[in-house]
Amino acid sequence: MAELTFRTGTMDAGKSTLALQTNHNHAARGRVGRLFTSHDRAGAALVSSRLGLTAEAHEVADDFDFWRYTVDALTQGARIDYMICDEAQFYTPAQVDQLAKIVDELQIDVFCFGILTDFRTRLFPGSARLVEMADRTEVLQVEALCWCGKRATHNARTEDGVMVTEGEVVVVGDVDGGTPPPQPVHEVEVAYEVLCRQHHRRGLTAARARAVSLSPDPLPFP
């Protein structure tokens, strides 16, 4: 039986690497698949891993219809055994429903990869719908680490080095501290960093931690 699987983790947890590895494993066994992505940091229509691996994919815009795409391809004689859907947090809830329909009605395996929450610590609509609809939701075992060494659980956005908690949900950046792709609307430098809950609450990024004293805060009572 085909399944809708959602594999999730924070940024820098290896989701795209696993997506590419999953595609390789299935293709190596003679299965035929299609890759999809949305807002990849390397550019449109690419699945890219921070390990340097890349693969061409179909770009998923908000008006992309997975069901229509798949039915049209099958009608024209194409073979599709599975679908790899990276950056699935950016998909719309309607698109997630289309993926579930593909699994149920066409018996095509769908593997989705994405993060749960945005930089505001709120669930992405696409990820929330995947949790509701997926046959299996798996948290990646590779743990990203906060600068303090604790397990990172939250995604932080910085603009010109300052952590922000408001703004547009979708702004492409990276977590390696380098210069992100040019943004047509934003002139500031946007980057991302993974933090533990404590330091996300405090807005204490690695750069800010280096700039201030790291002595423990006084207890909130005499």
At 93-106, the pLDDT tens digits run 999 999 999 999 99
pLDDT given for residue 44 in this prediction: 84
Tell me the average pLDDT across 105-127: 96
| Dist CA 163 CA 27 (whole Å) | 41
pLDDT given for residue 181 in this prediction: 46
pLDDT given for residue 142 in this prediction: 78
| Dist CA 33 CA 81 (whole Å) | 6
pLDDT given for residue 115 in this prediction: 94
Residues with a catalytic annotation lie at 87
- Residue ranges of domains in the chain: 4-139, 154-211
What are the C-alpha distances in Å from 199 to residues 105, 171, 203, 206, 207? Answer: 45, 22, 6, 9, 12
Q: pTM of this prediction? A: 0.80
| Tens of pLDDT, residues 62-71 | 999 999 999 9
Name which of 79, 149, 160, 113 is nearest 4 in CA terms: 113
Tell me the average pLDDT across 49-58: 85
Percent of all residues in the chain with a pLDDT value above 70, rounded to a whole number = 88
pLDDT given for residue 93 in this prediction: 98
Tell me the average pLDDT across 43-52: 81
Asked if pLDDT for residue 85 goes beyond 90, the answer is yes
Q: Where are the beta strands (DSSP E) in the chain?
A: 4-8, 33-37, 46-48, 54-56, 58-59, 82-85, 109-114, 136-139, 154-159, 162-164, 190-195
| Dist CA 55 CA 4 (whole Å) | 22
Q: Which long-range contacts (CB under 8 A, 24 or more apart) does 97-102 make?
A: 97/129, 97/133, 98/65, 98/66, 98/67, 99/4, 99/66, 99/133, 100/4, 100/133, 101/67, 102/66, 102/67, 102/70
Percent of all residues in the chain with a pLDDT value above 90, rounded to a whole number = 64
Sequential DSSP letters for 80-143: -SEEEE-SGGGS-HHHHHHHHHHHHHH--EEEEEE-SB-TTS-B-HHHHHHHHH-SEEEE-SS-
Tell me the average pLDDT across 137-141: 90
Cα dihedral 138→36→130→31 (10° resolution): -60
How would you classify residue 153: left for phi > 0, otherwise alpha for psi between -120 and 50, otherwise beta?
Answer: alpha
Asked if pLDDT for residue 186 goes beyond 70, the answer is no
Tell me the average pLDDT across 41-49: 81
**Apex CA 157: angle with CA 147 and CA 97, to 5°?**
115
Name the band, by pLDDT with cuts 50, 70 and 90, for residue 216. Answer: very low
| Dist CA 41 CA 47 (whole Å) | 9
Considering the chain, what is the average pLDDT of its residues? 88
Pick 4-139's CATH classification: 3.30.465.10, 3.40.50.12780, 3.40.50.300, 2.40.50.140: 3.40.50.300
